[in-house]
A and B are shown apart, each in its own frame.
Chain A
Amino acid sequence: MKTLSFLFIVVIAGLLAGLFHGIINVAVVEPYLDRAIGIENQRMFDEGQTQNTPQFWQQFSDYRTWQKEGSVVSGGILGIATGSLFGLVFAYSRHMLPGQNNVKKALLLATIMWAALYFIPFLKYPANPPTVGDPHTIVLRATTYALFVALSGLGAFGFSRLYKKMQNKKFVAFLGYAVFIGAMFVIMPPNPDKISTPMELVNGFRAISAITMTAYWIVNALILGWLWNKVQPHVENQEIQK
């Protein structure tokens, strides 16, 4: 394997997809975040924690601009992070994935990893805009979310090993994962926070953020698959010459 080329295309694919995710979020997810934070501000005024003054709004606007820039950079960081895991799993599983084209292989793996690491956890613990979460429960919520993602990911990994071993009746591996994650759904504690934010805002936020996360996974797979076709990092130089 051409190690440096491999690392390079994996990180670049993650970074580009992550920046794409961050930039489209500024356009389509931020309006929901701004509305939610607006509700939060109103609460602070009502409770007398802050004065509704032009100075407040000036500071607030600067702060939000900084956070939106941070969101794009964070998209890049999260893209490199998720893309690194994706690239690593791709390198190990590429020969098992059906098809000839690395783009198709990458899209199939991305679908599996998107489901195991993002979408199934999302169904158990849906994303929330600001104002919904109670700061006092953050440790519990962070722990249960991380645990659920880890269980789902490790479960998918374990059952993929079973899938590989099974000569026939491969559907048993899918069934096994479904039973396992179904049990986790029941066993794991629910999000304890009560939602007092308008549901129309919460549901709109959930739908649009799920769409852009999904777009991120697709773009990461397309870029990695395309770069893999071009660079062929798994092929040693002398093998290409053969």
Chain B
Amino acid sequence: MPNSFDIEMVNTSQITKTRRVVPIIAAVALFALFGLGYFVVGFDQGQLFSIAEGQMAYGQMNGVGYLHEFTHDMRHASGFPCH
């Protein structure tokens, strides 16, 4: 079965060319998911919730941010720096 790339190789018109390309909206969505999730699990110390809660977000759980405590074990296990 030909895939769209094969078709593009044979037919180089503009129309087929745009088919293979990941739609820009999908690329942006996936990259945003990556950035957000990677930050939340790997690095957040309260920054994300501080957008809504201000300074309070940095000390919800015994002086540490909620997301930091919630993701804590996975943060260590997946190699991110922690305490």
Residues of B at under 8 Å CB distance from A?
Answer: 1-5, 7, 19-23, 25-27, 29-31, 33-38, 40-43, 45, 69-83
Specify the main secondary structure of chain B where it touches its partner.
helix
Partner of A209, one of B4, B43, B79: B79
Q: Does A130 contact B37, Cβ atoms closer than 8 Å?
A: no
Q: Interface size (A, Cβ < 8 Å)? A: 64
CA distance A82 to B37 in the complex (A): 8
Is A84 among interface residues, defined by CB-CB distance under 8 A? yes
Chain A interface main SS type: helix
Q: Could you say which residues of chain A place their CB within 8 Å of the CB of B72?
A: 67, 70-71, 130
| Contact in complex: A95, B5 (CB < 8 Å) | yes
- Expressed in whole angstroms, the Cα–Cα distance for A38 and B71 within the complex equals 19
A82 touching B34 in the complex, CB below 8 Å, given contacts A6-B22, A74-B74 = yes
- B22 in contact with A71 (CB, 8 Å): no
Name which residue of chain B comes closest to A77, CB basis. B37
Cβ-defined contact, A141 with B81, below 8 A: yes
Q: Shortest beta-carbon distance, B44 to chain A, in Å?
A: 10
Q: With the chains together, A191 CA to B31 CA distance in Å?
A: 29
Query: CA separation between A33 and B74, bound complex, in Å?
Result: 10
State which of A1, A73, A95, A142 has its C-beta within 8 Å of the C-beta of B19.
A1
> Do A133 and B81 touch (CB < 8 A)?
yes
**Cβ contact of B3, chosen from A68, A128, A213, A234, cutoff 8 A:** A234
Q: How far is the CA of A88 from the CA of B73 in the complex (A)?
A: 27
A30-50 vs B, CB cutoff 8 Å, 1 = contact: the mask equals 100100000000000000000
Contact of A56 with B by CB under 8 A: no
Q: Which residues of B contact A129 (CB under 8 A)?
A: 76
